[in-house]
Copies of this chain bind each other. A is one copy, B any other.
């Protein structure tokens, strides 16, 4: 406890931006159905979609001191990812911290705990995915760490990993796998586009994907 890692590696901006365009569901599929944070992580407002490099915070329960420390480590295009060391719904983060983070180019917050001032954050267009919305205040008494690996909402997040987040939730992509995941994601998108047109025209998935034979083999009966 009590460590701040100052130099972390980040993925290419172009790769990160590409992942943002693909969105959570596609990226999650493209990397082998892994990396999704728990379903209870919900956005405070609808319509945000982003990808960004994780600056991680391991915070004591109900203590947001380390958020101030982490903000100094932010670079343009980063996102804060906070996991408390003991489960908490307390409101670690509000509009003042968002103002400070946004001033340093931070794109948002992923927090396995509570957030507050959500009306202000919505107006500022500072997106947050959180476990709770709760005004409960925190203290500044105990050290935590910044830019160490953390487990957030049941997924491991390393500093510099890419966070993809939208209305479907939050997905983490390992930095070293990001290029490959982007490529696989873009293939899915291209492939889905042609499928979408055929489906919209009334063709059935049963035919497009050739499922009828396999269903018959498994014993599906039409009555």
Contacts and interface: CB of A to CB of B under 8 A. Distances in A.
B33 A85 contact: yes
Contacts of A36: 134-136
A34 B85 contact: yes
The winner among A23, A24, A154 for most chain B CB atoms within 10 A is A154
A113 to B, nearest CB: 11
Contacts of A45: 46
Interface in A165-223: 166-169, 171, 192, 195-196, 199-206, 209, 211, 215, 218-223
Contacts of A132: 39
Given A68-B204, A195-B96, A29 B209 contact: no
Contact of A39 (B32, B39, B114, B201): B114
Contact of A166 (B88, B91, B119, B171): B119
Give the copy number.
Answer: 6
A100 B25 contact: no
Contacts of A171: 135
Contacts of A32: 1
Contacts of A195: 96
A133 interface: yes
A154 B133 CA distance: 16
Given A134-B36, A200-B103, A219-B2, A167 B90 contact: no
The winner among A1, A114, A136 for most chain B CB atoms within 10 A is A136
Interface in A62-106: 62, 65, 68-69, 71-72, 85-91, 94-97, 99-100, 102-104
6 residue pairs, one from A and one from B, having the closest CB atoms: A100-B199, A39-B134, A61-B62, A68-B205, A25-B135, A135-B168
Interface of A: 1-6, 23-25, 28-29, 32-34, 36, 38-39, 42, 45-47, 49, 60-62, 65, 68-69, 71-72, 85-91, 94-97, 99-100, 102-104, 114, 116-119, 122, 132-137, 139-143, 149, 151, 153-156, 166-169, 171, 192, 195-196, 199-206, 209, 211, 215, 218-223
